[in-house]
Structure 1
Amino acid sequence: MGQEDKKKQITTKQAAELLGVAENTVLSYSRQGILTAVNEKSWQIDNTKYFYIDDVEEVKDKLKKPGLSTGEVAAQLGVSTVTVFNYIKDGKLTAEKEVYRGRELYFIKQTELERFQKNYKNMRSRNNKEFYSKPNKHGWFQLFIHERSEEHGRLMVGEDEDYFLLTASGNKIPYTKIEQYGFKPVYLIERGSIISKRKFAKFVFPYEYKVKTNIYSFIDKCYEYITPTNMKMNINKQTIELEIKPYCFPYDTLDEETIKTIKKYMVEGSIISTVKGIYIDSEYELLSIEIPTQVKDSLKQIASEGNFTLEELVSEILLEYVNEKH
C-alpha cells in the first residue's frame, strides 16, 4: 500500500471485521503493542480507537494461520480433538508446532490432511445412529440364533460397507434375508439412559470374522448394560474402535478370559475390581478452575475461531503444556 492508504484510518469495529476477530481482541492487540492506535491518548473521548488500515493489514498477514488447527481437522474428520492428538502422537498425521497469536499450537497442512484421508479412507467413522439401527434394534456384531438348529451368527460389516450375517458354519447371509433364513436376534438392542460422565474408555480390537470371541461377547454386554446411547464404534479392515462411558459391570457378566482380553486391547482408561463388580473408567477427571471473566471471554473467542468447544480448547492447552514440560 502507498502513503495515501497508510493515512486511511479505521475504527476498532472495522479493524475487528477486517481481522475476523472480536473488538475486545483488537483492544488486546493494542494493549500488547501488536497494533498502535492513532488516538491512543484520546480514544476514550473519541469513543473508539482508530488504526491505520495499513497497520491492520500487516497484522492480518502476520496472524494468518500456518495451516489447519486440530479443531478444524477434527471437524473435517468427524472425530474429537483428542483423537486428532492421538493420530499426531502415533505418527499417523504429521503436524507442525507454530506460534499463532502468542501461543504455540499444532497445525496441519491441507495437503497432509488430504494424504491422511486417502491413506485412511478405509476407516469408516460412524456415530451411534450408524452402528445401531433404532427401528430394527440391530447393531454391529450383534448375536443371532437360528430358530430350529440354534446355530449362532454375527451381524458383520463387509468390505463395501454391506451388512451380512456370518454363521458359525461360515455361511454369509445378506442382511435383508436373515429372517428368511430362520435367524433372529438373541437380544434386541434398546437405547438406555444417558450416563452423565462425558468422557469415554477406549478399546482397539482386531476385526475378526468369527462368531464366538471374547471381544464380541464383551460388545454383547456393552449393548445390554451400557446401551448404544453411551457407546461409539468405528471400524476399518483391521480394527474395531470401541468407546464406552464409565460403567461398573456385575461380576457375573464378564468372565476372567473376557477381562484379560479387554485389558489387552484397552488404549485409554482403566479397569478396576470393586466390591460391586468390574469398573471400566475413562482416563479423564473433572477439573474445576476459577479464572477472570476477561480470560474466559478470550478463551471463548479463540475456541469459536478454531471450531473448538471451550472444554476442548482448555484441554488442548493443558495437554500441550504438560507435553512440553515432559
Structure 2
Amino acid sequence: MSKYLDVQEVANMLGVTPATIYKLINHPEVSKRIEPVNRLTYRGDGGYRFSADSVELVKDQVIKKDLTIADTAKLLNRSKSFVHGLIQEGKLKSYEDIYRGKKTFFIKKEDLEQYNKDVKEKPKGLWETIYDKKTGVFLFQPYFNNGELARVMSINKNGSARAKIMLKTSSIELTLEEALELGWKPTYLIEEKKQVTAYGYARFVFPIPRSLDSVIYQVIDELFKAAGPYNIRVKTDEMLEVEIKKTTLAGITETTEPDLVNRLKTFVHSGEIVLVHNGTVIDPGYSSILMYLPHQTKKELLSEAESKGMKLHDYLTEFFNNKFGLK
C-alpha cells in the first residue's frame, strides 16, 4: 500500500496535527469524514492509508478561508468572549463550518470591516450607561490585580437581564466575568445615594484620557464617590463630559486636597466650585436663580422645556449657552 498516504503525510499536506486527521476519520457526519482505504484492515497494515482524492475532499474543512473567533479578537484587541457576544447580539455577521474536525465560527473580512464602520458611525451625543445595580459596577470603576490597573469602560444593558460589562487593562479588554475569574478586584465601591431633586447639573469637560491612571479618571472617581450613581451622567464624544447634580465633596478642601480642587476648577465648564470650611460644593448655579423666580415663570419654563422634549435643566443650559454665546 506504499502508493497511499499515511496519517503523518496527510497531516503535513494539510498543515494540521495527526490528532486532527483522526478526528476527521471518525467524524459523526459521513460527509465530513476523510475515508481511509483500509478502515477494516488498518491494524494489520501498520496504520490508516489514504488516497490523494480523499485528501482533496477534506481540504475545505482544514484550510481557513476566513477569520476565526481568535483571529477577529486579535484584530479588534478584544477577548474571544467579546467577539462571541457580538455574534450572539447580531452585531457581527458570521457563519459556521467545519474546521480541523469541529464546528467553528468564521467571520468574513468584509463583515468585520462593516462592523468597524458601524462602530465609528454610531450616533453621538448619547449619555452612557454608568451603573449596573445588580453588580454594583459603575463606569470607569478601577480594578486591580497583582499591581496592574484596569477600568470599566462600558456597561451595555441592551434590554437584557444581565448587563454586558467590559474592563480594559493596559493590553486587552475583558468581560467582567473573565476579570473576576482571573482575580481582578474593585478598588472601591460607591453608595446608592439619594437622588438630588434640585434643578440643574454642573458640567465638567475633559479631554479623552490617554491612560488608565490619568488624573482625569482620578477626578471622576471622586465625583462618583461623592454623588453616587443617580446624580451623575457621562457622555463620550470628542471630549469626555460629566454632569453632576449639586454635590458636596466632604473633607476635600484647598488645604487637604489642593491638586484635586484645582483640577475641579480647571475642568468645570458650567456651574460653580464653592469652597466651604469642611469641603467643596459643586453647584449647578441654576438652583439659586430658580429660587427667586415667580411660580408662574417656573411653570412656563417647564412647559417650554417639555414642548421641546427636554428636561428643565437641559433647556436652561441651552438657553444660557445661546443667550451668552457659550459652548
For normalisation by structure 2, the TM-score amounts to 0.49
Q: Please tell me whether Structure 1 or Structure 2 has the larger radius of gyration of its CA atoms.
A: 2
